[in-house]
Chain A
Amino acid sequence: MVGIVGYGIYIPRYRIKTEEIARIWGADGERVAKGLLVEEKSVPGTDEDAATMAVEAARNSVTQAQIDPTEIGAVYCGSESFPYAVKPTATIVAQAICASEHIQCADLEFACKAGSAGIQICMSHVIAKEMKYGMAIGTDCSQGKPRDALEYSASAGAASFIIGDDSREIIAEIEGTYSYTTDTPDFWRREGSEFPRHGSRFTGEPAYFAHVIAGAKGIMKKLELSVEDFNYAVFHMPNGKFPIKTGKTLGIPLDKVKPGLIVIRIGNTYSASSLIGLCRIFDLASPDERILCVSYGSGAGSDAFSFLMTENITEKRENSGVPTVDDYIEDKEYIDYALYAKHRRKIKKMM
């Protein structure tokens, strides 16, 4: 058996409302919020970045897993907003969780699905008995260009998972994984560019929907499961509308999608988006319940997983004392656009 031994997330405390961003650009805030289904988004503090959030999430996952961090054999950090262009973030995480030096580390890039790619790599290591545990993290504090549609959604957060093969420790068995990948330039950022660019309407049908739906169908076919076999479904959330539409297309009832739909409250956390949604479901799911999770990364590809909750979840959730996804969502402080600009260093060039 291979599965999740522990998980942890991190969401920075600051929030800006969609209305407040719209106010600056003379847009109708209520309409934008309803259109995107994003009411507010998380904003990192001036002293936070993809590395610090990864560390906070990783520490939570180690505490929840109740394992010795020196038994972790690999740390994979997935992001598209690493603090350095050259200098790994995974090594910072490894040292900050007191992992051993006998460890392999790498940073992964695949737009918003680099974190789920890390889970797949850790699964392979663990199945091959190369290591006892692997750690996979999705972390991002991405920025939208001022006034771009992405400015309303691009937010910050991280999710960390410890993958192992001991059935006495696993809280959610990974029944299988399936990826669907094509060469589709729907979203990109060139080296040295501060903000990403996107193919506008091109990002919908041929990119997000085609890959996420193919991923969901692919994993169900591979495992001979159907929509009815799943109690929950979580998809990458660039906004609230896309995952809801995906669920509808697949014939999944809305109440199975809603529990993971965190984008309304925190925005699109990129590499952490579907993964924080997944953790919210881990926070409330019961043993024997099944979860469909499909990430999406522009460029483009999807990673689909089927998770089956085990009875170990109850004890680990209750005894670890690690904050839940809702704890992080509710611990918030609103900032206005001026402070937001300071936080996001948009005023940097003026100084």
Chain B
Amino acid sequence: MSDRSVPLFWRKSKQMYNLIGSECITCGTRYFPGRRICPQCRKEGQMHEFKFSGKGQVVTYSVVRDAPEGYELEVPYIVAIVQLEEGPRLTTPITYCDLDEIFIGMPVEACFRKLREAGDHGIIIYGYKFRPIKGAKPN
């Protein structure tokens, strides 16, 4: 990752820190990442910023054992598709979760974590990951 990609992460940091997407006031559909135009309502759609609660559940997951550059110390780790309680699905690492602990339907919540480091000298990228909600029962 080169220093030239810094602006890309900077532009996305607001949505990555706080799960901020968008909602179409016309039809009520929520989007993450946010969109400017509602694909369902087109011109009639009226979009505004929407902050998600960060609560959701695991739809499916896989365990990464062979990590890409910058994630070597993280292996083995879990990547899951999480359905947010407000509707949209997103792909996210699951942290604070043992490999034998995860299951489909597991209730999870967003937390703030270090996502990756650009080597020893580059920027550090922060954002959301998801973690199990302690004591919560699957729906």
A positions within 8 Å CB-CB of B: 13, 45-49, 51-52, 55-56, 59, 83-84, 92, 95-96, 98, 331, 342, 345, 348, 351
Contact = CB atoms under 8 A, between A and B. Distances in A.
A47 B92 CA distance: 14
B18 A96 contact: yes
Contacts of B48: none
Contacts of B134: 331
Contact of A47 (B13, B14, B51, B74): B74
B14 to A, nearest CB: 7
B30 interface: no
Contact of A46 (B73, B112, B126): B73
A48 B113 contact: yes
Contacts of A342: 73
Given A45-B95, A47-B129, A96 B124 contact: no
B134 to A, nearest CB: 7
Given A45-B95, A47-B74, A95 B129 contact: no
B27 interface: no
B21 to A, nearest CB: 14
Contacts of B115: 47
A351 B115 CA distance: 20
B72 interface: yes
Interface string B95-120: 11000000000000001111100000
Interface SS of chain A: loop
Given A49-B114, A55-B112, A98 B18 contact: yes
B17 interface: yes
A51 B126 contact: yes
- Which residue, A83, A96, A348, has most C-beta atoms of chain B within 10 A? A96
B18 to A, nearest CB: 6
Given A48-B113, A48-B114, A52-B113, A95 B14 contact: yes
Contacts of A351: 72-73
Contacts of B17: 95-96
Contact of B124 (A13, A84, A95): A84
A55 B113 CA distance: 9
Contact of B73 (A51, A56, A92, A345): A345
Contact of B111 (A56, A83, A331): A56
B95 A47 contact: yes
A250 B124 CA distance: 45
A46 B124 CA distance: 13
B97 to A, nearest CB: 10
Given A46-B73, A96-B112, 12 more contacts: A46-B74, A47-B115, A51-B124, A51-B126, A52-B112, A56-B111, A56-B112, A84-B124, A95-B13, A96-B18, A331-B134, A351-B72
Interface string B13-46: 1100110000000000000000000000000000
Nearest to B93: A47
- Which residue, B112, B113, B115, has most C-beta atoms of chain A within 10 A? B112
Contact of B126 (A92, A345, A348): A92
Contacts of A13: 96
A165 B129 CA distance: 35
Contact of A83 (B18, B72, B74, B124): B124
B39 to A, nearest CB: 27
10 contacts: A45-B96, A46-B74, A47-B113, A48-B113, A52-B113, A83-B114, A98-B18, A98-B51, A342-B73, A348-B73
Contacts of B95: 45, 47
Contacts of B51: 98
Nearest to B73: A46
A331 B133 CA distance: 12
